[in-house]
Structure formats: structure tokens, C-alpha cells
Structure 1
Amino acid sequence: MTGYPYRTLFVWIAALALFWLGACSPWSSAWNIGLATAVGLVACVALVMATRRIRARRAASRQVLAAINGALQALPGDTRRNTPLVLTVGESTGVLAQAFENNVVQITDAAIWVRVDEPARLKHIANALKRWRDGQGPDAVAYLVDADSAVDDAAFAAATQQWRTAVDEASRAVGYALPVCVAVYVAEVEAAQQACPWFGASGTLPPALNTLADQVCAATLAHARWVPHEARTRWAHHVARLDAAARWATADLLPGLADTKRGTRPINMAAFGLTMVRGTPTSASLVGRYVGAITGLAQPLPSGTPARLPLPDALLPGIAPQQMRRVLPRALAHAFVALTVALCAATAASAWQNRELIARVQADVTRYEAIPPANDAARVDALAAIKRDRDELERYARMGVPPRLGLGFYRAGARLPAINTLIASYQPPAPPPSMIELDSLSLFKTGSAVLNPGSNRVMFGALEMIKAHPNKRVLVAGHTDSVGSPAFNRKLSEARAASVRNWLADASGIPLSQFAIQGYGDTRPKASNDTDAGRAANRRVEITLIPDCRDARNSDSPKGQPACSFE
């Protein structure tokens, strides 16, 4: 793998996010569907952008790679890794045209120089060359500057900043700060007679850029020892121009490249050098005005044709070759980081949902236990919630814990036996009595149908029963023992039933139409009338709840008419 797998990583991250939303998310289904849709859209946009970037990189670097392959075809196979590879930038119609002519690649004894005419293509070509070299990116970027071609301060500063931004984008594309060497060419008519060396520094530049001019001046003066005696006067003129050009570069050129006020990273300035080439200096250029102001030297008349600019091989020895940077370990590390983040999110979601599950089960149990047995309807509702919890826990025990509750945090299964015990302990309340029997001796005197004073305390139980079932009719039946004539006993039992009925109707507020009375006399004994105990048991009033079986058209039946037949 030679290129960073952006698309594969995007798909991996999207798959992790979708899995988390589908299996681990604690949010509602609506939220999960909405977020999953958003993740899918973001992933599609990222894939489209990555595909466009790959196509743009291929289109921008296709010509360069073809030229490099053609130029290196006859060289050994390890040349691409052992020979320094330098991206060369600058003014395409000026300095680059003079250095490369019509070539895209120039091979010297020191390096392979690759021409880049447009700032926007620099990052694509740098990334493509890194892939071409199997993970070893370009070793440096050489910025070639023709000092005598710059005549406008604003245009020169804009061009410098444009290349400064392009170098920063290329550094981000390859994953490291590209070393930058700045090569300045100073035109001089008299330089045609000899090849001028490079003066400057390579490797580590001094923090104060203005000291570079002093170094250049010292180097040019030291070189004067090797200049023939008859040419030293002319060389002194060269020294003055080189010194002035170096001070112009350190005052106007290098600060623009080192500018970090526009959101770019500090540039990795690795080398700086000047050389004098045959050309036509002009007093209208920036460096010409600077040289004229400092030295007072007049510009010589144009003579000859401009020579081909030499590439700055002398600036490369201080720049260390780039190491091979494999993208697979970095991509695997990023994929592992995404997996770790997903696992942490899944763990947090599992812990939170397990806490919520246990809290919900405990709240249902607490609510059930707090309801008194008398309120059976509320207890049944609370018990239904506990049964739903029981069914859920049993399903987990039978089919496995889902991922959203797994990851070692599931503890609700231990509560299942206690929940089953609680459900089994539920006992429905006893059904309310459908009949209450009252002792006639506690209500009436012998042979009387008038309620005794204080007898209402005996009938409170019957009153509560009637109020609890307002939708049922009430049958009040009177019974006597066998003492006396049957006719008298039947009439007495019916009168006693009427007295009890009247009191219950007044006390409960229920209309008399809801009551029915019946006098049975001694026809339905409970015990033998031969003994005192048996006769006492037979003297009674029975209050019974019965369904209302009257037809609606009989709602105007006379008071006291039996609700149904009891014979």
C-alpha cells in the first residue's frame, strides 16, 4: 500500500458508527434512524471528496511521473530511493524556464529535480511522488528566485505567499514539514567569463535571518583568495552586488516565506544561497534598486544572452534524506483508534443502560411493595409491570444478552429469582361477601318489627357491603322460628325485612327501587326448632347482593317488589 486509504478508513468509521447506533445506542429508534441517515450522508460526501482528490492528484502528477519514469528508465532500480528528489518551484515563464528549458525532470549529480509550475499542483505532485517512492516523500522543495525579474513589491509578496501556502499544503499532504531551500540568482553581465559558486548556508540556518547576509559577505571575501590577481577588481564589484542582494533577500524575501500569520505552519527553512549568473541586471527591479541604494554602483549595459540557470546542487548536502514512511501502519493505527473510540462509546452506553435497567426493575418492585393490599387494582397494575420485567430478563437468559447491555456490565439476571418469588407471593383479595346474616334478637324485640335503639351498629357491615357494590340489587329476607302460627311468622319476617330495608336505604342514599324484601317465616330453618339454640339460629335477617335482572321496561315496578324470583 503506497497511498493513505482514506476511503477505506471512512467506510470503517461509518460502519463502526452504524453498528453502535444499531446495537449499542441508548437513544430512541427515531433518533438512531436520524443519526444513521446523517452518518450515511457524511460518509458518502467524504467518499466523493476523497475520490475527487485522488483523481485530481492523478491528473496533476500524471505528466510528472511519466517524465520521471522515462528519465530514470536506464538508471538502476534503487535510484528513486537513494537519489535526493527535490521539487523545484518558482516563476514558470522565468526562472524555471531558464533552469529546465522544456524539461519536466532534470537529473544532476546531486539530485533529481522535478519542475512544478503551479502552486495548486504542488501538494498533488508531492503526494504522488511519495507513492512513487513507496512511502519515501520528496527530500526538499527548492524555491528558485530570479532577483532581477521582480519589479513590483506587492506582486512579488503575493507570489511569495502563494508558494508559501503551497509548501504548507504539500507538507500536510506528505505528513511532514518539507525542507525548503531558497536559491537566489543575481544577474551580472561580467559573470559570463566564469562560473560563480553558491554562497549561503545549508542544514541549520541562524535564527536571525539578517546574519545570513554577513555570512554571504564573509564567504565572498574568503573566495577572493582564489580569484586571479588581475580579476580581483572585477570580483570586488561582484562582492558588492552579492552582499547587497543577500541583504535584500534577508530583508524582503525570507520574512515573507517565514510568515505564519495566515494560519500556516512555520516553514522548515533548510538552506539559503545566492549565485551570480550571466544576465541583464536592471535598476528597475527590486534588487536593482536595493543594490543601487546601498552600493551606488551603476548598472552595466546589457551584453550577451542569458545563460541557463544552474540548479542549486550546492545547497543540498546539509539536508538529510527523508525516511521511508509506510502508510499501512499509520492507517492501521488510525483504524485502531476509531475502534477504541467505538468500544469506549459502546462500553459507556452499556454501563448507562444497565444502570437504567436495574433502576427501572427496582422502581417497579418498590412501587408494588408500597401499595397496600386493599388497593388491589393498583397492585395488579404494578404486578403487570414486574411481570414485563420478568419476561424481559427471562428472554435475555434464554436468548442471550443484547450488545447494548453486554460488555460485562449485565447484572440484572441475578434479580430474576427474587422477582419470580415476588410474583408467586401475590394473593388476590378474598371476594367480598355476597350475603350478611343479622341476628333478629340484636335488632328486634320478641314479636316486634321495630328496630331496637342502637341496632344500627349491627348493620354497618351490611351498609359498607352495599356501598361497595352500587350496581347490584339488595335482597333483604326475614326468617323466624316455628313458634307461633305460620301466617303470623311470615308477616313478621316480611315486616322485619322492610324495617331493615328502610334503614339501609336511608343510610346509603340508594333508592328503594334497588332493594327487594322477602318474608319466609319459618319455612327455611337453618337448624332444628326443637332446641333453644336451633330456634335462636333460625331467627335472622339475611341481606344478599344479587344482579339487577329486571328489564328496563319494568323500572316502574312498585316499591318492595322482588327483583327476581327466589322461590
Structure 2
Amino acid sequence: MTGYPYRTLFSWVTALALAWLALSSPWAMTWNLLLAGLVIVLALVAIVVATRRARARRHASRAVLEAIHVSLDTLPGDIRQNTPIVLTVGDSVPALAFGEPLVRMTDTTIWVRVDDPPRLAYVADALKRWREGQGPDAVTCLVGADQARDTATLSAGLRRWRAAIGEASRAVGYPLPVCIAVYAEEAGGPTDDCPWFGISGGSLPSGEALCDQLADRLAQYPQVAAPVDRAERMGRAARLEALVRWASGALLPALRDDARESGRSGRPVRVAAFGVTAVKGIPAHDSLYARFVTQLTGLATSAREGNRASYPLPDALIRGIAVQPVRRALPSALAHAFAWLALGFCAAAAASAWQNRALVARVFGDMAHYRTISAEHDAARVDALQALKRDRDELEQYQSAGVPPRLGLGFYRGANLLAPLNTLIAGYQPPAPPPSTIELNSLSLFKSGSAVLNPGSNRVLIGALELIKAHPDKRVLIAGHTDAVGAALSNLKLSEARAASVRDWLADAAGLPVTHFAIQGYGDTRPKAPNDTEAGRSANRRVEITLVPDCRDDRRGVQEILGQSACSFQQKE
């Protein structure tokens, strides 16, 4: 694999995100579905963009690759890997150095020309694929000093190439070294080939340090010539020294250190080589370089006639730049995929820890709430008990069916909560049922043979009244009983009359309708004790007040008490 698999990585990240939403997300199902849809849409957009960029890259680099196939495909693989490939850029000079071809080979370097800044990143990426993971070794910017006539145009061109070099560096995955080669034309041309004067490799000095270092080398240049050529070389050395000073002030800051332009033109590039040379040509008296020389020396440059020769490529400057190593896309893609997997695992672990913490806090909160409710508030205790039972059922389901991934990953602590939950649930004791029957001695309420309540009998009936008020949802059955003294029919009527008297007083005192009460007279038919003793007859003379469920709620309860349906009770006068 030579190209970076962006689409495969996008699919991998999408799968991880969807898996997290399905298995680990703490959010509600609606939010998870919305986020899953958003993730899928973003993944499709990213894949479409990556596909379009791949097509644009192939289209932009087609001409260069065709030229490479024609010129270089016959080269052995080791030559491809070991011979530097340099991208050559510039506004007009590359055409003078290349002519019509897009690819040139010299003894030491393969030169590839790129005329359009937006295509530079595509060509660099295509060359990295062609060399099976080894990208271009450098970018050379060719600048003709005599062709730069406007400062704004020169700066704008440098900014465009600076941004393009930054994009190309991101495309290949490493900062591309930059070589600045500056040409000055001489009328008539030199009698010999002018060498390159510059610095290559390492850290490039800036400003005056660079000018001083090259001035020393230029000063030695006339000394190695024959006396007849020394004057010509001294003049050339002076012109080249002026060219160095002009280039160091007009070219290098725009590519290296101009912080004012970094926001619009990308980050500064790494200038690894810089050099100047003189070529046969036609000096321009109105160029920026010519005006700089006039300002520096006070001498105006006159227009001269001559023929322009082709510009030599700066092989000497490239020799100091190291050949780039092979950078396979597969290890990088696998590393990125593993990094995303690790990030997804960390996100799943964080979600699991958060949800486990919420689970433990909820169970502990339910247990604490249950403990704070006193036995007097049984209804609230029952509600809290139901919450405890739901917690217990949930934890038992996890214990039997397995802990879900959203709670797993080593953070689950629910198993330790089952024992205290079961202890609390088992320890619940319902409150004792209130007394359902109050028995009143008839002698404390009535005189012998009478059904009229005695004065002060309300003190005896207060307990029954409070019981009735405490249970307004219950019906009240009042039953009268007598001993066996006297006629049975008279005893039956007396017991019923006494029950009616108690009913009327309780209904009036409780503010309840008489229909809330039922009365029954039993006479001597249901004795509690034998009637042959005074104690037994006293126990049998009684009034029983019983609370029974409403007939609409529990007919069986009334039937069990009376042996007949509660709804069949009729008021007797």
C-alpha cells in the first residue's frame, strides 16, 4: 500500500462510533439514534470528499506521471529510490530551465516541473505513490532576479508557493526541504560557466550572517582565475554579492520568517539550501534587483542587448539535502487505526465507569431512602420497597444473563449490592392491623331493659369514634347482644334497638351518613359465655362495633363476618 487509505480509516472510525453508541452510550435511545444518523452522514460526506480529492489528484498529476512513465519507468527500482527527485517551482524561470519537458534528468537528480501551485500537493503525493512510499526529496524554487519588477507581485507569488509547499508537505506526511536558487543575467554571458555560490543542508543562517558567509566565498572566486580573467570575475563576484543581499531581504523572509503573512500563506517553510549564480542573458534595468544595485552603489544599470541562454538546474545545491526515507502508508494507517481503537476503548471505559457510578448511587440512594421512612408511614415504605425490588430484579438479571457492555469493562459493582438489598427487602414487616372490632358492655351504655343511651356514655363511645374516623373507607357494622333472661323475641328487639342508638350517636359525632352504618340485633342467639352465672350473663350483654370493607371493594370480607353479602345490609329503624 503506497497511498493513505482515508476511506478505509473513515469507515473504521464510523464503525467504532456506532459500536460505542450501541453498546456503551449512557444516553437515551432517541439521542443515540440521532447521533448514529449524524455519524453516518458525516462518514459519507468524508468518503465522498476523499474520493473527489483522489480523482482531483489523479487528474492534476496525470501529465507528470505520463512524463515519468515515458522517461523513468525503465529505471531500476534502486535508482528510483536512491536518486533524488526534486519538485521545481517558480513563476517563469522553470520554463527557461526545462523547456517543453516536464521531467529532466541530470547526473545526480530527477527534476519534475510544477507550474501551478494547487497542483504541487497532488504531484508530490503521486510521486510518493510512484516511488512506493518514498516521496520527493526537496522543492526547488527558481527565481530570476532580472524578471522581478514589482514587489507586490513578487511577494504574492512567493506566498502562493509557500502555501502550496505547506499543502504538499501535509500530503506526503513530512516537511519538504526547500532550495532557493536565484539567477542573475549577464549581457554577453560569462566566458566560463559560473558556479553556484550558496549553502546546502543543515541550518541556514539568516540576514547578515548569510550575506557575510557567502561574501567570503565570493571574495575567493577571483583569486582562482588567470590574471586575464580576474577583473571579469571580480565584477561578477560584486554583482553576485549584491544579488545575495537582495535575495536575503526580498525572498527569504517571505518564505521563512514573515509572521505577518503566516495566517494567509501557511506556516513558514524549511529552507535547506540557498544559492546564486550568473547566466548569459539580458539584464533588466527596471528590475527590483537592478534598482537595489543602483541604490546600493549609486550606479544605474543600462540596458544591453544579448542572447538568453537556458538556466542551469542547481544540482550542486541539492547534494547537501539528504534523500528522504521510504514512508509506507500501511504502518501509519495501522497506527492511526489502533489509536482510534484505543480512543474508542477509553470512551467506552469512561462511559462504563460513569454508568456504574450512577447505578451504585441509585441503589444506595433507594436503600437510604427506605431506611429513613418510619414504620408509621407504611404507604411510603411500600413505595420505597417497590423501588428496592426493581433494583434487585435488575441486578439479578445481570447476574443470570450477564452484565451488558455498557456496565462491564471491569467497573461493575452491582453483585455486591444484592445481599444488602435482599436483607432490606426481607426485613420489611407490615404494621399490625388495627383492631377491627370494639366490644362495649351494655350496662355501661344502657339501663336494664332500655335502648336509650345513658348520660355520659359518650366517654365509652369515644374509642369507637376515633377508630371510625381513622378508617373512613370502611363500613361500620353495629351488632347488639343480650343475655337469655326474658323472652327471646323481646331480647331480639332490644338488641336491635340498642344497636340503632349507638349507630345514631356515632353517625352524628363522626359526621357520616347513616348509610355508612349497618345494624344487626342478635338477641341471645350468640352468647359468649354460659347464661347460668351472673358473670356469663354480664359478658353476653354487649354491643360489638366492627369495621368491614366497603361492599364495592371487598364483598367477601363482609360475608365472612356476617355470613351474607355486605350489599344486602338494610337499615332497620
Asked if the contact 1:187–1:281 (Cα under 8 Å) also holds between the matched residues in 2, the reply is yes
Q: CA deviation at 1:300?
A: 5.6
For residue 563 of structure 1, what is the amino acid of its counterpart?
F
Aligned twin of 1:11 = 11
TM-score calculated relative to the size of structure 1: 0.91
User: What does residue 213 of structure 1 align with?
Assistant: 211
* Structure 1 residue aligned with 2:445: 443
Match of 1:364 in 2: 366
1:299 aligns with 2:297: no
Note the C-alpha offset of 1:547: 6.5
CA contact (8 A) 2:388 2:421 kept: yes
Partner of 2:412: 410
Residue identity in the other structure for 1:239: A
Matched AA of 2:30: A
Residue 50 of structure 2 corresponds to 50
Counterpart position of 1:22? 22
Residue identity in the other structure for 1:299: S
Q: Does residue 327 of the first structure (1) align with residue 329 of the second (2)?
A: yes
Matches within 5 A, 1:49-448: 49-91=49-91, 94-204=92-202, 206-258=204-256, 259-261=258-260, 262-263=262-263, 264-295=266-297, 296=299, 298-299=301-302, 301-303=304-306, 305-429=307-431, 433-448=435-450
- Quick check: 214-223 or 113-122, which moved more? 214-223
Of stretches 129-138 and 152-161 in structure 1, the one that deviates more from structure 2 is 129-138
Q: Which residue of 2 aligns with 1:564?
A: 570
Q: 1:377 to 1:298 in 2, by over 3 A?
A: closer
Contact 1:160 1:257 in 2 (8 A): yes
Mapping of residues 476-555 of structure 1, within 5 Å: 476-545=478-547
Q: Tell me, which stretches of 5 or more residues in structure 1 are unaligned?
A: 551-561
**Cross-structure match for 2:34:** 34
The alignment's TM-score, normalised by the length of structure 2, stands at 0.90
CA distance in 1, matches of 2:357, 2:211: 71
Q: CA deviation at 1:279?
A: 0.5
Counterpart in the other structure of 1:553: none
1:134-153 C-alpha deviation (Å, 9 max, x unpaired): 22221111110111111111
Identify which range, 239-248 or 488-497, moves more after superposition: 488-497
Tell me the SS of whatever aligns to 1:342.
Answer: helix
Q: Number of aligned residue pairs: give it.
A: 552
Deviates most, 501-510 or 520-529:
520-529
Shift of 1:307: 1.0
Structure 2: distance between partners of 1:512 and 1:298: 130
Question: 1:496: Cα distance to partner?
Answer: 2.4
Quote how far apart the aligned CAs of 1:429 are: 4.7
Q: Check conservation: 1:549, 1:563, Cα contact below 8 A.
A: no
- Give the SS at the match of 1:464: helix
Change (3 A) 1:64 1:549: closer
Shift in alpha-carbon separation, 1:454–1:375, aligned structure 2, 3 A: farther
Q: Report if the CA contact (8 A) 2:195-2:277 is conserved.
A: yes
Separation in 2 of the partners of 1:300 and 1:322?
44
The structural deviation recorded for 1:414 is 2.2
When residues 169 and 260 of structure 1 are mapped into structure 2, their CA distance, relative to the original with a 3 A threshold, is farther
**Maintained 8 Å contact 1:473/1:563:** no
- Aligned sequence identity (%): 60
Q: Which residue of 2 aligns with 1:557?
A: none
- Return the offset for 1:493: 2.5
In structure 2, distance between residues paired with 1:395 and 1:458:
57
Q: Which amino acid aligns with 2:304?
A: L
Bigger mean CA deviation after superposition, 390-399 or 212-221: 212-221
Name the SS for the 1:292 alignment partner: helix
Residue range with higher mean Cα deviation, 471-480 or 124-133:
471-480
The one-letter amino acid of 1:249's match is A
Give RMSD over aligned pairs.
2.5
Q: Secondary structure at the match of 2:188?
A: helix
Mean CA deviation greater in 290-299 or 399-408 = 290-299
Unmatched tracts of structure 2, length 5 or more: 553-567
Contact 2:204 2:272 survives alignment (8 Å)? no
Q: Which amino acid aligns with 1:223?
A: Y
SS of equivalent residue, structure 2 residue 189: helix
Q: Secondary structure at the match of 1:283?
A: coil
Question: What is the distance in 1 between the residues matched to 2:10 and 2:331?
Answer: 16
CA contact (8 A) 1:474 1:546 kept: yes
How far apart, CA to CA, are the structure 2 residues paired with 1:287 and 1:535?
141
SS at match of 2:13: helix
